[in-house]
Amino acid sequence: GLNPEVLLIISSIFAGFIAWRVGLKWDDMMSGIREKFDMAMPSILILISIGILIGSWMIAGTIPMMIYYGLEMINPQFIVLISFIVTAVISIVTGTSWGSAGTVGVALMGVAVGLDAPLAATAGAIVAGAYFGDKLSPLSDTTILAPTVAGSELYEHIKHMLYTTIPATVIAVIVYFIAGLNVSVDGGPESETMTAMLSTLTQLFDWNLLLLLPVLIVLYGAITKKPTLPTIIFSSLVAGIIAWLYQGFSISDIFASAVTGFDVSMAGYDSEAIMAEVTRLVNQGGMHAMLDVMLIAFSAFIFAGIITKAGILEVILDALLKLTKRTGDLILSTVSSTLTMALVTGSSYLTIIVPGEIFRDVYKKKKLQAKNLSRTLEDSGTVVMPLIPWSAAGVYMTGILGVPTLSYLPWAIVCYLGFVFAIILGYTGIGIAKEEEIEKE
């Protein structure tokens, strides 16, 4: 229950003492810390710019419009399957699993109650969809953090995750489809919450295809492999212009949204007068929203810089290399370490940062591209967190959906099949990117 930032600083103090015992001076330790920051700085800048992007897309109405039409897709006849699809779509466009589950997910649970649908299955589908979207969204903090720690590139990392995510999703969709066939829709009431959410979003924003332009800019940049940071900033700038010219927001509101995030009060409404489900969904974004992730990352890089410079990691790596004869052994070791970190800490950030730092050089020595590591970190770290009852994610999902963690766990299929497929691919060699491929290119 203690803050991870302080724990990492305390660990850095112990690491610094060991480094001093083996002959390092303070300047040597600072050199190691600077090296880690230099390596991570491009990704940290992207993380900050993502905060600007979410804020600008929100005030432009880009994200709200995608949420609006995502909600309209709901067909009560297949509530479990639709719960997965809708939360996945909204999580991708917002980059937040907690936001999509805490808003649309809550509304979907209301529909499920009204239809007398299986609540555990619906909750599991909502959790799986929320983390599916979070995992594949370039706006997600953990999706940015994993390639940062592993040393891979953001869009390459997302593309590489499809090897494990697609088969897990196919199985999940089949199971959800079959589960939905048993749900009776005769006399099922329409969700008042859902209708009210759609009405409120229409009051706050005007819809137009022009609102999709910022999304198309990011997609074009990803497909043509343009530099990530300039693409994000340009998309944010275009979104800001749309918010000014089309939505009618002031320049000061647009700037505020980029820094502190969007707020419904900017549209002239009292926050307390707008339904909580909508404010939870649209009141987000801004650079300030990324500060928590950055603080944990900074603290972790201090720790990593000292233990790397002192040679502590080399001792761990030598032991690991003796145990990992094949690629599958290495993937299995990564999964085991990440799951252990998840169970012990309950922190999605630490489950990425600590194993990532430990295994980064091992993958290099094994001639494996860094995106193999970043993918495995997400498969066994990020998406597993809501399945752990004592983690923040597990407590949150149980609280908002009203279903115990262990009850929805079997239905959150994408959350645990990812690392199963990661291990299978490791031993079969399918979807494993090697350094020789880069050399050939």
pLDDT digit string, tens, across residues 228-240:
788 889 989 999 9
Mean pLDDT, the chain, as a whole number? 83
Listed residue (420, 302, 432) closest to 363, CA to CA: 432
Alpha-carbon distance of 168 to 108, in angstroms, equals: 22
State the DSSP code for 1: -
Which pLDDT score, from 0 to 100, does residue 311 have? 81
**Contact by Cβ (8 Å): 51, 94:** no
CA distances from 414 to 41, 156, 183 (A): 32, 21, 22
Query: How wide is the angle at C-alpha 108 spanned by C-alphas 102 and 112, nearest 5°?
Result: 135
Listed residue (359, 352, 195, 363) closest to 277, CA to CA: 195
pLDDT digit string, tens, across residues 190-246:
567 777 878 888 888 999 999 989 888 877 876 777 777 888 899 899 999 999 999
User: End-to-end distance of the chain based on CA atoms, in angstroms?
Assistant: 48
The phi-psi region of residue 151 (left if phi > 0; otherwise alpha if psi is between -120 and 50; otherwise beta) is: left
Query: How wide is the angle at C-alpha 72 spanned by C-alphas 67 and 75, nearest 5°?
Result: 130
- Give the dihedral sign, CA 71/72/75/81: negative
Q: Which residue has the higher pLDDT, 109 or 231?
A: 231
Which pLDDT score, from 0 to 100, does residue 190 have? 52
CA distances from 171 to 75, 117, 126, 411 (A): 20, 20, 15, 11
Report the pLDDT averaged over residues 271-279: 76
Question: Which residues sit opposite 434 in a β-bridge?
Answer: 368
φ, ψ for residue 434, nearest 5 deg: -110, 160
Residue 188 has pLDDT above 60, yes or no: no
In 10 A of CB 263, how many CB atoms? 21
Listed residue (161, 89, 83, 90) closest to 124, CA to CA: 83
Which pLDDT score, from 0 to 100, does residue 189 have? 43
pLDDT digit string, tens, across residues 20-61:
999 999 999 999 888 878 877 776 787 788 788 888 988 998
> Sorting pLDDT into bands at 50, 70 and 90, what band is 411?
very high
pLDDT digit string, tens, across residues 335-358:
988 888 888 766 777 788 888 888
**What Rg, from alpha-carbon coordinates, does the chain have?**
22
Report the pLDDT averaged over residues 400-412: 87
3-state secondary structure of 261: coil
